[in-house]
Amino acid sequence: MIQAQKVSYRSKEVHIINDIDFECNSGEFVAILGPNGAGKSTFLSLLANELHQKGNKILLKSCDYNQWCEKELPKHKAKFSQHNNSDIPLNVEDVVMMGRYPYFDHIPSEEDKKAIQYSMECIDICPLQNREYNHLSGGEKQRVHLARVLSQLNNNVENKLLFLDEPLNNLDVLHQHKILELIKDFTIKGNTAIVVIHDLNLAAQFADKILLLEKGKKVCYDTPQKVLTQDTLSKVYNFPCIVTTNPVNNNPLIIFGK
Amino acid sequence: MQKKLSFYLISLLLFLIVLAVASIFIGVYQFEEGSLKTISKILSGNEDINPSDYYVFFDVRLPRVLMAILIGSGLAVSGTCLQGMFKNPLASPDLIGITAGSVLFAAITIVLGSYVKAVVPEIIHFSLLSIMSFIGAMITMSFVYKISSTNAKTNVGVLLLAGVAITALSGATTGLLTYLSDDEELRNLTFWTLGSLAGATWTKVGILTAVIITSVVLLINKGKSLNAMMLGERDASHLGIPVENIKRRIVLLSALMVGASVAFTGTIGFVGLIVPYILRLVFKSNYYYILPLSAVCGSILLLGADTISRTIVPPSEIPIGILTSIMGAPVFIAILIRFKKSI
C-alpha cells in the first residue's frame, strides 16, 4: 500500500525524523504513537506528501507521488490535519462539500450531495449542516472536517488511504469511539488508515499495528500485543506503567503511574 | 447552486447594460434629438446624425463608459482574488500598496521618461507607461507577499503596514518629482494621483480590453480553489488544488490588471475593497459566487461613480478617485469593526 525507505526530515539542522523504514498493507489500521516531539505529525506529513526532502523515497501503491496524476490522487488518499482553520465564513454544508471538489467542476452532482449527507450522518453533524461554521465549538469544527475528509474518499476506488493527525482531540468519549469505529469499518473494507493518536488504550483496542516513535527514530513497529509492553512504554514515555489485560476485550490495558 | 449563480449574473449584467446606456445619455452635453431617437438612429445605421452628437457618442462617452466597465471589473476581480489568496477581507490592491507601487513607477516614467526614450526602441515608447506601471505593481506584489508570509500563513499586520510603507515611499517620490517636473509633466502627475476616466480613447479601450478580459477569464473560474484555500494551503492541495500554480496566476494577473488601470486612469482606490465586501454580506465568503459576481459589480460601481463624478458639478467634473475613496473609507471602517476579532 505505502512503502517508505530511509525517510528523514531535517529543519534548520535539527533532525526531526531519522532514517525510518515503514511499510503497511491494505486493510490495516496503523496507529503512530510516541511522546511529545517524537516526530509523529512530521512523519505523517512526509507519508502524505505534504513535506518533502531530497533523498526520501515514498511509494503509494508502488508509484512515486511524482508519477501520480494530480487529479487522481485526491480520490485515493486524504488527510485530516491537526490544525484546522477556525475561521471559515461559510455554512457547515459548504465546508463538507469541499471534500467533493475533486469530483465536480462547477455544480455538485446528486452523488456528491448524497456523499456529504452520508458522511454528515456518520459523524453526527446533520443538525449543524445549515449553521455557520464559525459559530461552532472546537469539537464540532473538528467533526465537520472529519466529515469532509470522509466524503472525499466516498468512491469506488479500491484500497484507499486515509491519514489522520490526532482526530480525537476535543472530542467527547461517544464521538471518540464512534470515529474510531468508522475508521475500523473503513479499513475492514480493504482500505488503510494511518492515525496519529495519544490514547494508548484506544490504540490498543482498535489498531492492527502500532508504530512507536521516539525522538525521530523508530522504536518498534508491530502488533499492539508486541509493542505495548511495560518495558518499552516506561522507557519511551519515561514514566512508570503497568500493562495488564483488558477484562472486556482482552487487549492490552495500560495504566500509567506508580 | 449553478442556477442561482447564473440568475444573479444575468440580472446584474442586464442592470449593467441599462446603466451603460443611461450613462451615455447623461451628462453636460445633451443630444439634440433626445436619447431614444439617437439610439434608434445609431442602431439602424442611419447616416444623418448630427456630427457633434456623433462625436460625443462615439469618441467621448462610449469609450469612457467601456473603460469604466473594464477597469471596474479588473480592479474588483483583482481585489477578490487577493483577498482569497491572503485569506483576509482587507487585502485589496490599494491597501497593500500595489497601486502605490504602480503609481511610483508611472510617476518616474512621466518625469524621467524623456531621458529613457532616447535609448529604448520606438515601439516601446507608446506602451512604456503601461509596462512600467505593470513592473511597479509586480515588484511591490512580490515584495509584499515575501515579507508578510511565513510558512504559508499571512501576517495581516505586516501585510497592511507594508502597504503603508510603500504608499509613503510613493507619496514622497511623487512629491519630489513634482518639484523636478515642468508644466505638462505636472499636469500629468496630478491626474495620476487623483484618478480620472476623462482621457478615454479607443486605443486605451483596445489595450484594456485585451489585458483585462484575458485576466478576468483566466481568474473567474477559480472560485472553488479559493474556497478550498480557506482550509489552509496544505489541506487545499490534498483536495487536488494546484495551490502554487493558482497563487502565481493571481499575483501575475492582478499586477497586470492593476498596472494597466493605473497607467490609463491613475489611482482609483477602494473598488477592490468595496465590491467584495458588499458581496460578502449576501454570500458569506463563498468565492464560487463572489468571484464571478465581483466582475460585474465592479463595473456597475465604477460606471455609476463615473457618471456621478461628471454630472454632479456641471460643467466641470470631480476626479473619480475622490468619489471611490468617499465610499471606500466607511467600508474600510465597517470591515475593521466586523472582523476585528479575526484580523
pLDDT in tens, A142-186: 999 999 999 999 999 989 999 999 999 889 999 999 999 999 999
% of chain A exceeding 70 in pLDDT: 100
* pLDDT for the residue numbered B47: 66
3-state secondary structure of B242: coil
Give tens-digit pLDDT for A26-38. 999 999 999 998 9
* pLDDT for the residue numbered B284: 86
Residue of A nearest to B243 (CA): A70
* pLDDT for the residue numbered B79: 94
* pLDDT for the residue numbered A118: 93
Q: What are the φ/ψ torsions at residue B59 (nearest 5 degrees)?
A: -105, -15
* pLDDT for the residue numbered B343: 61
**Rounded alpha-carbon distances, angstroms, from residue A39 to A13, A63, A216, A235, B89:** 15, 25, 5, 17, 35
Residue B118 amino acid letter: A
Whether pLDDT at A122 is above 70: yes
ipTM exceeds 0.85, yes or no: yes
Residue of A nearest to B225 (CA): A101
The answer to whether A74 contacts B224, with C-beta atoms less than 8 Å apart, is no
* pLDDT for the residue numbered B267: 86
Q: Considering only the beta carbons, identify the residue of A77, A84, A101 that sits closest to B224.
A: A101
Q: Which three cell numbers stand for residue B317?
A: 467634473
Asked whether A207 and A252 are in contact (CB, 8 A), the reply is: no
Instruction: Please state which of the four CATH numbers 3.40.630.10, 1.10.3470.10, 1.20.1300.10, 3.60.20.30 is assigned to the domain occupying B2-338.
Output: 1.10.3470.10
Q: What angle do CA B286, B288, B293 make, to 5 degrees?
A: 95
Beta strands in B184-288 (DSSP E): none
Dihedral (Cα; A143, A146, A152, A153), 10-degree rounding: -130
Q: Which three cell numbers stand for residue A121?
A: 450522518
The answer to whether B230 contacts A88, with C-beta atoms less than 8 Å apart, is yes
Choose, out of B230, B290, B335, B338, the residue to mutate when testing the contact with A (most A CBs < 10 Å). B230
Q: Which three cell numbers stand for residue A187?
A: 479499513
Q: Which three cell numbers stand for residue B167?
A: 504608499
* pLDDT for the residue numbered B116: 73
* pLDDT for the residue numbered B342: 65
Q: Considering only the beta carbons, identify the residue of A71, A90, A108 that sits closest to B284.
A: A90
* pLDDT for the residue numbered B126: 65
**Rounded alpha-carbon distances, angstroms, from residue B329 to A153, A202, B97, B169, B317:** 46, 55, 16, 21, 21
Q: From chain A, pick out residues whose CB is under 8 angstroms from the CB of B224.
A: 101, 106
* pLDDT for the residue numbered B15: 96
Q: Does A258 touch chain B (CB under 8 A)?
A: no
Q: From chain A, pick out residues whose CB is under 8 angstroms from the CB of B228.
A: 98, 101
Give tens-digit pLDDT for B270-282. 999 999 999 998 8
Domain ranges of chain B: 2-338
The answer to whether B231 contacts A73, with C-beta atoms less than 8 Å apart, is no
The answer to whether B235 contacts A99, with C-beta atoms less than 8 Å apart, is no
Residue numbers in chain B where pLDDT is lower than 50: none
Distance from CA of B95 to the nearest CA of A (A): 22
The answer to whether B1 contacts A107, with C-beta atoms less than 8 Å apart, is yes
Strands, sheet with A217-222, edge to edge from the N-terminal-most edge strand? A77-80, A161-165, A192-196, A29-33, A209-214, A217-222
The answer to whether A98 contacts B240, with C-beta atoms less than 8 Å apart, is no
For chain A, report the end-to-end CA distance as a whole number of angstroms: 41
Span A69-88, mean pLDDT?
89
Question: What pLDDT band is residue A250 in, cutting at 50, 70 and 90?
Answer: confident
Residue of A nearest to B283 (CA): A90
Q: Which residue has the cell 509584499?
A: B144
Distance CA B297, CA B15 (A): 10
* pLDDT for the residue numbered B186: 81
Distance CA A112, CA A243 (A): 46
Q: Does A192 touch chain B (CB under 8 A)?
A: no
* pLDDT for the residue numbered B159: 86
Q: Which residue has the cell 456641471?
A: B314
Q: Given its phi and psi angles, is residue A162 left (phi above 0), alpha (psi -120 to 50 degrees) or beta?
A: beta
